Amino acid sequence: MEALMGDDTSPLVQAVLEALAGQECTVVRDSYAEQLVIGFGSPSRADWPLRSTSRAPWLVYSRYGGWLVGDGDRKIASDEKTLNDRVLQRIRAVLLHQHVQQVDFDSDAKSLAISLENGAEVRFGPSEGVDETEELWALEAPSALLIEARLGGVSVKRHAREHDETGLSKAAALHRLVRHVAELTGLALLEPPPSAGQALDAILAAPDGKLLLVQFKLQAEPPRVDIRTIVVGDEAREVGSTELPLPELTPATMAARVRRILSAA
Amino acid sequence: MARKADLRQVDAIAREFGLDRREFGDYLHELKRSGDRGSEANGDFTTDELRERARMLHEERDDGGSDG
């Protein structure tokens, strides 16, 4: 993926960051290796197969750099101490639901300071022991733009995190889930007829004539899988339906639920 | 410094498997929070355990994403 590097990126970075002003802080969480993650804008859940990670159109990762959160008068938390749930709660108390008032990017220091309407501030910047190739912070912005600040320069590029831009990737992942469930349960996986359209994503068929009609409801909150049970005799009749929350579903747990549905039908 | 070493290890495995580094970190963090802890101190994953989790994530992705 083509990336813009070096001093030339400053005007572009500034232009992108200007659009962050006015956004509401909606996500405060951590990630692996005690990264602080702060999100702005309408919150959402990360794409499958992640199940519970919160995302937002604007997402800053502290990556290898240092960070500091202040409430306007004093320091609330920083990377100098362990980032745990208690510290996250303190940060949430001062940042969540506050709107961004000002964004300052220092192209020399490679630091990013986000000020909020209540006077709170979160800063990302250099830290000891980081080499020139490692990000001090990374900002995912709308339209899949990614700004990465390193001691060696700032890059702006488009990233491929938005797997659902076309829906193809997500559909493939869901199809793989159903195929895996079919393998685990010994059921036959049948393609739904084209006439079913979006009302049906897959059919799982048992040897005794029972059919499970699977439909993914990705727009539901939380996203879920609807399974309708059909018994085919002289005529087909629906004998039950089940809704499974997608975020908590793995191939193994879905297979277990499918077995229960079939034994109850 | 241990945090940076952990992150370097995760990034190296993400690159090896063509995964988005931030997404892979989020994925591992979810796993740890849901009780899938590695055999290192604090439940961190060994290199082999990271590779196994990378395969898990990769298999569930259409094309494995790209390093961002």
The half-sphere exposure of A186 on its side-chain side, counting CA atoms within 13 A, is 5
ipTM of predicted assembly, 2 dp? 0.88
pLDDT of residue A164: 41
Instruction: Determine contact: B65 vs chain A, CB below 8 A.
Output: yes
How far apart are the C-alpha atoms of A158 and A171, rounded to whole Å? 22
pLDDT of residue A47: 80
How far apart are the CA of A146 and the nearest CA of chain B, in angstroms? 8
How far apart are the C-alpha atoms of A211 and A197, rounded to whole Å? 18
pLDDT of residue A252: 84
Instruction: Determine contact: B42 vs chain A, CB below 8 A.
Output: no
- Identify the residue among B62, B63, B66, B67 best suited for mutation to test binding to A, counting A beta carbons within 10 A and taking the highest: B62
Predicted confidence (pLDDT) per residue in B22-54, tens digit: 999 999 999 998 888 888 887 889 999 999 999
Residue B58 CA, chain-centre distance (Å), reads 11
pLDDT of residue A16: 85
How far apart are the C-alpha atoms of A79 and A229, rounded to whole Å? 52
**List of chain B residues whose C-beta atoms are within 8 Å of the C-beta of residue A1:** 66, 68
Name the pTM for this structure: 0.69
- Identify the residue among B10, B13, B30, B31 best suited for mutation to test binding to A, counting A beta carbons within 10 A and taking the highest: B30
pLDDT over threshold 60, residue B68: no
Out of B29, B56, B61, closest to residue A30 by CB: B29
Residues in chain A predicted with pLDDT less than 50, given as ranges, are 1-7, 162-168
How far apart are the C-alpha atoms of A20 and A2, rounded to whole Å? 23
**List of chain B residues whose C-beta atoms are within 8 Å of the C-beta of residue A175:** none
